Amino acid sequence: MRKIVGGLLPAGILSLSFIAIAFGLIRRLPLASSSSVSRTKLSVVVGDVIPLGVLVDIVDPDLSGETCRVSEAQDIGEILRTEKKAVIFGVPGAFTPTCSAQHLPGFVSKAEILRSKGVSSIYCLSVNDRFVMRAWGEQTPGCVASGIKLIADGNGEFVQSLGLTKDATGSRMGVRSKRFAAVLEYGTVVALNIDEKGLNSTSADQILELLG
């Protein structure tokens, strides 16, 4: 048996000790989870297919055509894959200035023209709960009559799956949706515009130009 001289371990034993300590530390390092990877997902691009398995609440006109009803926990990917041609636009928030004064009203006023271009359904998405989205739809002039469906992505899971989240924590609004507009055919993205600031390429007029 080797003796310890002067209270110090021999160099060989010291090396083995450091390796053991390092290995123990490495084993304790957390592995990246699938959820952390998904949070860094790049934005959806033309050619991508809308993912399945993300649940949202959908607000649309009821049978009276005067108020809205809510369909809870709907797989939005499954629904969009049944649409021959759909338009979906995302806004940072219901009742916010640009969204309420321009973005949603723009699609309301152009809904019939969009349908004449072959659009079967128009969806407006926001990271808000179903109660807020229902109130927004009912209080926006012409929205109920236009037939536009409002997607209440309360947890932000759908917009996160698309890689289109907007960090609004600096404004104390949490994580929201970027302002975007897309044309889908059976769930496949065939056109996508994103406005990092203001309302330009994601307006109803711009989508009409894309449709030709």
DSSP letter, residue 118:
T
Q: Cβ(55)–Cβ(74) under 8 Å? A: yes
- Token pair in block for residue 83: 């649409």
- What sign for the dihedral angle of Cα 92, 198, 171, 108? negative
Dihedral angle over CA of 157, 72, 147, 203, nearest 10: -10
Interior/surface letters 131-170, b for 16+ CB within 10 angstroms, e for the rest = ebbbebbeebeebbebebbbbbbbebebbbbbbbbbebee
In which residue are the tokens 């991508």 written? 48
99 given a catalytic annotation: yes
Of the residues 68, 99, 124, 143, which is catalytic?
A: 99
What gap in Å lies between CA 44 and CA 184, rounded to an integer? 12
- Residues serving a catalytic function are 99
